[in-house]
Structure 1
């Protein structure tokens, strides 16, 4: 199980800092730092750094194999994230769906797309054992 003295770090490209900050703050992520070439967020307890690099934006993103996100262990938190995305009119890449229905690994999921076409997945497993 994860220890609370560790924070996962992910660096991703962004094409413009203001729109990136707006998206992640609407999602509920606290901005930790901002420089002229990057912005760092508390992304649900982990660190996401969006580096200004407009030439490396994926113009045709696909869910697989590249995306990142959060697996919620509490359904209420998953529901809150979904409600927040809807309320803030954040762009969905894939609306909420059920994956692996009827199997032990069944889970609810939805995908958002940030302003640089980075795909974010949010999911909740009915069986918490399947989170890993």
Structure 2
């Protein structure tokens, strides 16, 4: 399936200012519209909306992937390797604790990818990936 559609993802946060610093400052997402209860971010060309909903925050469930416990509920982006490495370095410099440290997953197999998992200030899990060949994103 080929599409030119953009995605829209709404997710809960417990502090809008912390979300603004994290997504806008650290991750580098430009801010769009906002109110006292939500903020739109340009997440690599897609609409990411942080809604103030503290009771909905955090993650619990995990799933085993490549020997790691991956947060079952997460979101992120597939970005070029140089950007992925720069983001990993910014996160380390900012003292972000990784759920799964940056590494190469499925090394030498179809779908080989660089990946890392970390939490935002509200406990939402994010995964950022990079493929040497984007044709491998759905490789079996």
TM-score norm. by structure 1 comes to 0.86
Judge conservation of contact 2:59–2:71 (CA < 8 Å) in 1: no
Alpha-carbon offset, residue 102 of structure 1: 1.5
Alpha-carbon offset, residue 38 of structure 1: 0.7
Corresponding residue for 1:45? Answer: 45
After superposition, the CA RMSD in angstroms is 1.8
1:60-101 CA-to-partner distances (Å, cap 9, x unmatched) read 3643421110012x2222222222222333342221022111
Q: Which runs of 5+ in 1 are unaligned?
A: none
> Distance between the aligned counterparts of 2:23 and 2:129, measured in 1?
17
Corresponding residue for 2:31? Answer: 31
> Distance between the aligned counterparts of 2:31 and 2:131, measured in 1?
28
2:81 is equivalent to residue 81 of structure 1: no
Corresponding residue for 2:113? Answer: 107
After superposition, residues 1-132 of structure 1 pair within 5 angstroms as: 1-3=2-4, 6-25=5-24, 26-58=26-58, 60=60, 62=62, 63-72=70-79, 74-132=80-138
Alpha-carbon offset, residue 59 of structure 1: 5.5
Q: Which runs of 5+ in 2 are unaligned?
A: 63-69
TM-score norm. by structure 2 comes to 0.82
